[in-house]
Amino acid sequence: MKSLLPCALVLLGACSSPAPPAATAPAGAPADPYRPVYHYSAPKNWINDANGLVYTNGQYQLFYQYNPQGPTPGHLAWGHATSPDLVHWVPQPTALTEYKNPDGSNTMIFSGSAVVDSANTSGLFPAGTTDGLVAFYTGHVERPGLVLRQRQELATSRDHGITWQRYAKNPVLDIGSKEFRDPKVFWYAPQHKWVMATVKADRQQVYLYESKNLTQWTFLSRWGRAGNTVKEWECPDLFELPVPGGGTKWVLLISAGGPVEQFRGQQYFLGRFDGKIFVPDQPYDEPTYLDFGKDFFAGVTFGNAPKGRRILVGWANNWAYAPTVPTGNQWRGCFAVPRELSLRRTAHGLALVQQHVAELRTLGKEVLSVPSQSIPAGASGYEVPFKGESYDLTLTLTPGIAKTLTLNVLQSAAERTTLRYDVARQTLTLDRTKSGNVDFHPMFASSLETASVPLRNGQLQLRLLVDKSVVEVFAQDGETTLTDLVFPRQHTGRITLTAEGGTAQMSALHLTDLGHTAAP
């Protein structure tokens, strides 16, 4: 979580749900043109980073940075939503709120994590309790216009996150810094202990601590200043994933600078962790980015997920313009669809792969399946026989002799969001410069997002999750992702494909209409 104004914390988008009424438009009001249908957004007000992601009592618990008082950054608390399946979300009461200190200063509840203390190692729950939740957050202490300190605090819940009690002996970790935040706590089974990953944000370093009881923490090690160090490091996450063919790797996620220098993004490092020190597999002189769009930040993973799944939730926004996105005065901010993480061997080595959770397929219905289609060279191309603004589109393209392939979505007479593939360079570019309302902030349409995407067996496989104001692109089965916000002024919702330099071939197009999924 970033320090407040001009920037604050960020996260999530509107997901489908059994329709809690608070998240729907008032009776008689026009439909919200930008509120996503199947990405989660809070019923009202500002949200940013996802916090406290944990599975307990048959529910995925999503906490997040939240301003209970309005749609702009400030008064940060933890909002709360729950889901049995990662796609139907039910908003819950605000979980943790800011509070006044005896000296007159104020403490806001910045980003953090939550764990199930199943063995009651903390001793903070009644004997025999196996489902007590412990939340760790950064207490951001300030007076108006002046940050005093950032320190790590905890709170406990005996009712699966609905109500919370702040620990009487807070803080549990304080190094006297104004840039020390975002605790991610996990159980390290080989040494029967808890580990906390935090960041010294201004030093671009991860600080690791250990504890046997969750209340007393001892310093282990620090590591950092690798990859992208242009901006502060934030929101660390450290976890283990299996390697195809055997063994495991540890993955360190860090939110920092992005592929475009002026913007924030997220990077990852692969390496080893022995319970004390993280050792990367390579120097990481160049960053390895998690997402190449402008609007994926502060992604962290669920703890305690069933079947050992590693599921990531990221904020679909960017601090460069987040407080000004044109979603009106009711709500601001949404999350990307939860993504399941895995490792895959590629031509360039071991890579972190992201694929939207399989549960998304339970929503909507497939309305279009095209086994094959020739894409003639020229401006006419091929128009997909569907119009809409919320859908899941999968297709495979074989460029052949074509030099450029272009896929336009959310297209109207003068607007389009464009995905363009350069065959010679084997790069994929997401272009929102003509996507609609791009002038609400000078940085919104200031550059194109481009990623290297090599063809596989001469083919380009794409999956697009389009949802009114959010476009998520998964290329080559999740080896590369790009996420951008867009704000169409027109709403025709056409989809077209064109080829330049020669005929191309499209195969296996499938489209699931998600536009009528019940909003959360």
Extract the tokens encoding 482.
């790009």
For every residue of 247-298, DSSP letters joined together read: -EEEEEEEEEE-SSTTSEEEEEEEEEE-SS-EEESS--SS--BS--SSS-EE
Q: Give the CA distances from residue 289 to residues 34, 134, 417, 428, in Å, rounded to whole numbers and listed in that order.
A: 27, 31, 22, 15
- Contact indicator for 392, 512 with CB cutoff of 8 Å: yes
Longest dimension (CA), the chain: 72
Hey, is 236 helix, strand or coil?
Answer: strand
Q: How far is 299 from 308, CA to CA, in rounded Å?
A: 18
DSSP 33: S
Does 49 participate in catalysis according to the annotation?
yes
Q: How far is 80 from 92, CA to CA, in rounded Å?
A: 5
Hey, is 51 helix, strand or coil?
Answer: strand
- Contact indicator for 290, 235 with CB cutoff of 8 Å: no
For residue 184, what is the enclosing H or E element? strand 180-188
Find where tokens 């360039």 sit.
Answer: 348
Out of 49, 117, 291, 431, the active site residue is 49
Q: How far is 16 from 192, CA to CA, in rounded Å?
A: 39
The residues annotated with a catalytic role in the active site are 49
